[in-house]
Structure 1
Amino acid sequence: METYEHFYTENKVRLMAYLMRLTGDAQLSLDLMQESFTRYLAGYGRNGNNRPLLFTIARNAALDALRRHREEPSADCESEASGLDPECRCIAKEAVDRMFAAIRRLDPLDRELISLVATEAFSYKAIGKLLDISEGNVKIRVHRARLRLRSILADGDK
C-alpha cells in the first residue's frame, strides 16, 4: 500500500498539470487524473511504479474525452487563485486562459509534446518512446512548438 501511495503522491501534481495543458479544462483534468490512477491501480496493482504507463493511460483518456466533447474548453482557475484579491485573481485567470488558448492553437502532437515537456517528468528520449517518435524529432518539434507559442502569444499582445 505504501508503494502505491508514494507513487500517487509523487505523480499527482505532474499528471494534473499535464492534463490541464492538454485539455485546458480544470474539472475535466481532475476527472481524468482520478480515472487514470484508478485504471492504473485496477490494471497493474498497488506495486506498480511505471510513470510512463500512467501518463499513457492519462493521454488516452484525455484524447477520448476530447473526441467526445469537441468543444472549446475553458480554464477555471478561480479556486487555485482564491487567496489573491479579486483584481489579481482576474489577471491570473486571464493569463492562464491566454496560455491555454495559445496551446490549443498548436496541432495535437505539438500540444502534447509541450505538455509532456512542461511536466518535467520525462526525458526527450522517454517522450519519444511514449509518442512513438525519435528523440531528435521530439527536440525539433518541441523547439518549433515553443517558437509557435511565442508567436501566438506575441500576436495576442498587438
Structure 2
Amino acid sequence: MNSNRSLRSFFEENSGRLFGYLMKLSGCREDAEDLYQECFLKYAQNYPDNHSLPLLYTVAKSLFIDLKRKSRVHDELTECTEKHAESPEEIYSGKEENNILTRALSMLDEDERELISLCSSGGMKYAEISSITGLSEANIKVKIHRARKKLKEIISENRK
C-alpha cells in the first residue's frame, strides 16, 4: 500500500513535465494525452517500485516511437500541428506564441525536438538525458545548443 502512495506521489510530481515533453515531441495534444496515460499505466505495471525519472522518460519515448511506427503518424502529426496552429479561436485567445513555437518545433529533426523537449519540458540534467538517449553529455550539450540556434532561426524567419 505504501508503495502505491509513493508511486502516486512520483507521478504527481512529474506529470506536468512529462506531458510537456510528450506535447513537444508529438506536436499534437490528442496524441500527447494518449501517450501520457499509456506511459503512466505501463510504468506502473512494469516498474512499480522504481521511481526513476530517466526511466519514465525512456518509457514515454518508446511509446512515442511505437505509436509512430504503428500508424505512420509523422504526416498526421504535421497535419494536426498545422490545423491546431491555424485555429482562429486559439489566435484570438492569445496562444499565437505557442502556435509559432509548436510549428517551429515541428520543423526540427526528431532527435533535435526530443533533446529540446527533454531539456526544457523535462527540466532534466544532461546526465539524465544521457541515460535516456545513450549519447554522451558533451554530445548532448552540442546538439542542444545547435537545436536551440536552429529553433531561433526558424522562429525569426516565420515572424517576418
Q: Which TM-score bucket, shorter chain as reference? A: 0.7 to 0.9
Aligned length: 148
> For 1:55-104, what per-residue CA distance to the aligned partner results, in whole angstroms no more than 9, with x for missing partners?
10101111222332222132759xxxxxxx97651x31x32222111111
Q: Distance in 1 between matches of 2:53 and 2:137?
A: 18
Query: What is the CA-CA distance between 1:149 and the residue it aligns to?
Result: 0.4
Q: Assess, with a 3 A threshold, how the Cα gap between structure 1 residues 143 and 87 changes in structure 2: closer, same or farther.
A: closer
Identify the residue that residue 18 of structure 2 maps to in structure 1: 15
Identify the residue that residue 74 of structure 2 maps to in structure 1: 70
Unaligned regions of 5+ residues in structure 1, if any? 78-84
Aligned partner of 1:26 among 6, 29, 41: 29
What is the correspondence of 1:4-153 to structure 2 with a 5 Å cutoff?
4-45=7-48, 47-67=49-69, 68=71, 69-71=73-75, 72=78, 73-74=80-81, 88-89=92-93, 91-92=94-95, 94-153=96-155
Q: Distance in 2 between matches of 1:86 and 1:137?
A: 37
User: What is the identity, as a one-letter code, of the residue corresponding to 1:28?
Assistant: D
Identify the residue that residue 2 of structure 1 maps to in structure 2: 5
Q: Distance in 1 between matches of 2:110 and 2:91?
A: 33
> For 1:19-65, what per-residue CA distance to the aligned partner results, in whole angstroms no more than 9, with x for missing partners?
000011111101101100000011112x3211111110101111222
Q: Distance in 2 between matches of 1:87 and 1:125?
A: 38
> For 1:95-137, what per-residue CA distance to the aligned partner results, in whole angstroms no more than 9, with x for missing partners?
2222111111111111100000012432112112211111011
Specify the SS of the correspondent of 1:133: coil
How high is the TM-score relative to the length of structure 1? 0.86
Unaligned regions of 5+ residues in structure 2, if any? none
Q: Distance in 1 between matches of 2:9 and 2:121?
A: 18
Paired residues of 1:23 and 1:66 also in contact (CA < 8 A): no
